[in-house]
């Protein structure tokens, strides 16, 4: 690796992954709900906004304003998509993990053996 990869926090990683999963439909509230559903954590809106802002500053997501809706009082949402750089970062993290898992001499036994 020529350039040192940008550091991603664990929470940022989850947000970034979720943005990738939601493919162009990712915005504050939707992300919050999705993450609560998937991870079971109690996540608050301001945390998601803060994380998205940090990711955007790091260049891993980009955003554009979407369509206004009625329940938002006619306000537009900001829709996020993962940038190529973000994708690559996610991929690298995954590679490192897979690599480490495969090198584990004795992968944990399944919890239940029949």
Q: Which residues bind other proteins (CB under 8 A)?
A: 27-29, 32-33, 44-47, 49-50, 53-54, 65, 68-69, 71-73, 75-78
| Closest CB to other proteins among residues 22, 50 | 50
| Closest CB to other proteins among residues 70, 114 | 70
| Closest CB to other proteins among residues 72, 87 | 72
Alpha-carbon distance of 114 to 101, in angstroms, equals: 24
> In terms of Cα–Cα distance, which of 25, 68, 71, 15 is closest to 45?
15
The distance of closest approach from Cβ of residue 17 to other proteins in the complex, given in angstroms and rounded to an integer, is 20
- What contacts 65, CB < 8 A, 6 or more positions away? 76, 77, 78, 79
């Amino acid at each position: 690796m020529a350039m040192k990869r940008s550091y991603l926090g664990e929470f940022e990683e989850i947000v970034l992954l979720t943005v990738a999963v939601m493919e162009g439909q990712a915005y504050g509230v939707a992300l919050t709900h999705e993450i609560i559903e998937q991870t079971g954590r109690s996540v608050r809106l301001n945390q998601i906004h803060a994380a998205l802002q940090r990711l955007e500053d790091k260049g891993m997501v980009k955003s554009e304003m979407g369509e206004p809706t009625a329940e938002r009082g006619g306000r537009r949402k900001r829709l996020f998509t993962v940038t190529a750089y973000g994708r690559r970062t996610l991929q690298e993290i995954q590679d490192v993990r897979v690599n480490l898992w495969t090198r584990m001499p004795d992968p944990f036994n399944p919890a239940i053996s029949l």
